[in-house]
Chains A and B, each alone.
Chain A
Amino acid sequence: MTAAAMTERPAAYVPKGGYRLTGAGLLRSEWTKLWSLRSTWIVLLCAVVFAAGLGALISASVPSDQGLAGADMALSFAMAGVSMSSVFIAVLGILTVTGEYTTGSIRSTMSAAPKRLGVLAAKAVVYGAVVAVLFSAMVFVTFFLSQALLDDPALSVSLGDDGVLRALFGYVAMIVYLALLAIALGSILRNSAGSIAFYIGVIMILPQLATILPWDWVADVVPYAPGNVANTLILVDTSQSTLGVGESWLWMGIWLVVAYGLAGVLLKRRDV
């Protein structure tokens, strides 16, 4: 017979008040989680160095007597590394979600925030903001670096020129959009390898491959593919693109709503 059985039962313990699960708390938590992994630092550093480095390298090696001209041409040299670098960003975005599933830390996360959706939102906001700030800086540094390295006066562009600033921020918007898409994708598939393969295969490569198919309708559809809708934003002269700037934003919004809608429904429905 244990002692407790003979004595009165103690009154039920009442937890001390004061602590609350909040949206701000979830944001701070995701911020802590993001920066407490070594892989975050490594991948982000790689992404920035790669983008800036490749842009500078290519700008420095452009010969000046090729008749290359125009703001879009100049920007394409400066931002030559951005599409590669967006892969780093997307992969890290995927890992912030799938890493939790493969290691099991998702169980801690979701028992602290059992409504679940707030966690996905906080991940998207924190990572989106980090990528936005980092790439805003990267884009401008690379732009000026590239301008200093490009010899040809025909490729000389100023920030004040029509559409240049918009195109530079277009690069930032595109990267943030892809990062957000990657997070939703990770949340839907939950598996690192699967999500990365899907991202590279279906979002990045498939639309490019599709253009060589012989059917006309494919070419009509391809600009609306989730990996392509941001392409207008990075152009200084958008007169040739299928989607206008407004349409481009609209379609980015549509794809994010679709991706996060599906991710949210699955997150609520499935067992952790």
Chain B
Amino acid sequence: MIEIEHLTKRYGKKTAVDDLTFAVKPGVVTGFLGPNGAGKSTTMRAIVGLDAPTSGLARVNGQHYSQFKSPLTEVGALLEAKSVHAGRSAYKHLLALARTHGIPAKRVHEVIDLVGLHEVAGKRVGGFSLGMGQRLGIAVALLGDPAVLILDEPVNGLDPDGVKWIRLLLKGLASEGRTVFLSSHLMSELAQTAEHLIVIGQGKLLADTTVDDFVNGSGKARVRVVSPDAARLAEHLAGPGITIASPERGVLEVSGTEAAVVGQTAAAHGLVLHELRTDRGSLEDAFMQLTADSVEYRQTVEGAK
């Protein structure tokens, strides 16, 4: 359980996080979404006590992070920027952290195997690829077998295999009753991993909802029908609150109703359907709609759209 209460963080004049309040519950993967510069990394650093809040507070399982007697077994964190000395091997980096808590070397080998760094564990981290560095960061987070995981853009730099692996890993960890909190600026990525969503923009809370509600609530769901009798079907479907578009011959896009209703209408009038499906509207659309006013770093190239 992570609780953020009225968290505000200013760097000089810049307000990175602005009166943020939300909670992350155990047992599910919670996604933390926001455009570049929204304040995700800042919030995560505040949770593990690296950055002190200007006001407000961040608590983990009811306590301030620095009060824990064994921080590594309470919270495992993968932070955005590289957090390893380039001249040290992956093994020694993990070992040095493990020793602070008396965690045995056996556990270090375990997490190295778990993240697939066995072959390169003795090599200097400076030569690691982005993905290898990321795997090491995940190993650090898992080292203490913690109850709470905080991961800042964990899929960054991972290959498709790695992405799939971490998705399963995180879901597995959540199903054991852990709190899993991960950030991303890719909605589509989070939709496949997370069940709950916290969306922020310019440091402010924009949404605190389930992924399903977020997608449905975007109001973009519409029914797509392919039928040789499209024109007649459209006549029967027409009604108040229903809009029908026909992007091409024989295709209808109906919003304001459901696929079941469309199917029943067709059956009632003996019309042939070739295809009937609900378009949820793209997640990225929903996300962009929500954050449209709070995107900080917008590209200004003409015709980018």
List the interface of chain A (C-beta within 8 A of B): 1-2, 4-5, 9-16, 19-22, 25-26, 28-30, 32-33, 36-39, 99-100, 103-115, 269, 271-272
Contact (Cβ within 8 A) B68 A114 = yes
Contacting residues, chain B, for A30 (C-beta < 8 A): 96
Q: In the complex, A19 Cα to B74 Cα: how many Å?
A: 10
List the interface of chain B (C-beta within 8 A of A): 1, 25-28, 45, 48-52, 65-66, 68-75, 77, 79, 81-89, 92-93, 95-97, 99-103, 140, 144-147, 171, 174-179, 195, 210, 212
Contacting residues, chain A, for B100 (C-beta < 8 A): 21-22, 25-26, 28-29, 112-113
Contact (Cβ within 8 A) B83 A114 = no
Closest to B42 in A: A271
Contact (Cβ within 8 A) A4 B85 = no
Contacting residues, chain B, for A272 (C-beta < 8 A): 45, 50-51
Q: Contacts A5-B195, A10-B175, A20-B69 hold; do A33 and B88 have CB atoms under 8 A apart?
A: yes
Closest to B174 in A: A4
Contact (Cβ within 8 A) B101 A10 = no
Query: Which residue of A9, A14, A33, A103 is within 8 Å of B27 (Cβ)?
Result: A9
Q: In the complex, A105 Cα to B86 Cα: how many Å?
A: 9
Q: Contacts A15-B147, A29-B97, A112-B101 hold; do A37 and B66 have CB atoms under 8 A apart?
A: no
Contacting residues, chain B, for A32 (C-beta < 8 A): 92, 95-96, 99
Contact (Cβ within 8 A) B28 A9 = yes
Contact (Cβ within 8 A) B66 A115 = yes
Query: Which residue of A5, A12, A99 is within 8 Å of B147 (Cβ)?
Result: A12
Contact (Cβ within 8 A) A104 B50 = no
Q: Secondary structure at chain B's binding surface: helix, strand, loop or mixed?
A: loop
Contacting residues, chain A, for B69 (C-beta < 8 A): 20-21
Contacting residues, chain A, for B96 (C-beta < 8 A): 29-30, 32-33, 36
CB distance from A2 to the nearest CB of B (A): 6
CB distance from A117 to the nearest CB of B (A): 11
Q: Contacts A1-B212, A108-B93 hold; do A13 and B50 have CB atoms under 8 A apart?
A: no
Contact (Cβ within 8 A) A99 B177 = no
Contact (Cβ within 8 A) B65 A19 = no
Query: Which residue of B25, B93, B144, B179 is within 8 Å of A19 (Cβ)?
Result: B144
Contacting residues, chain B, for A113 (C-beta < 8 A): 71, 100
Contact (Cβ within 8 A) A13 B177 = yes
Contacting residues, chain B, for A29 (C-beta < 8 A): 96-97, 99-100
Closest to A271 in B: B51
Q: Contacts A21-B69, A37-B85, A105-B93 hold; do A271 and B99 have CB atoms under 8 A apart?
A: no
CB distance from A104 to the nearest CB of B (A): 5
Q: In the complex, A28 Cα to B92 Cα: how many Å?
A: 12
Closest to A35 in B: B92
Query: Which residue of A15, A25, A39, A107 is within 8 Å of B81 (Cβ)?
Result: A107
Q: In the complex, A144 Cα to B99 Cα: how many Å?
A: 40
CB distance from B186 to the nearest CB of A (A): 18
Contact (Cβ within 8 A) A15 B74 = yes
Contact (Cβ within 8 A) B71 A37 = no
Contact (Cβ within 8 A) B210 A114 = no
Contact (Cβ within 8 A) B72 A4 = no
A and B contact pairs by CB, cutoff 8 A, 14 listed? A1-B212, A4-B28, A4-B174, A5-B28, A9-B26, A21-B72, A28-B99, A30-B96, A32-B95, A99-B85, A103-B84, A105-B88, A112-B97, A114-B71
Query: Which residue of B86, B87, B99, B195 is within 8 Å of A4 (Cβ)?
Result: B195
Contact (Cβ within 8 A) A36 B48 = no
CB distance from A114 to the nearest CB of B (A): 4
Q: In the complex, A14 Cα to B73 Cα: how many Å?
A: 9
Contact (Cβ within 8 A) A105 B71 = no
Closest to A99 in B: B85
Contacting residues, chain A, for B83 (C-beta < 8 A): 104-108
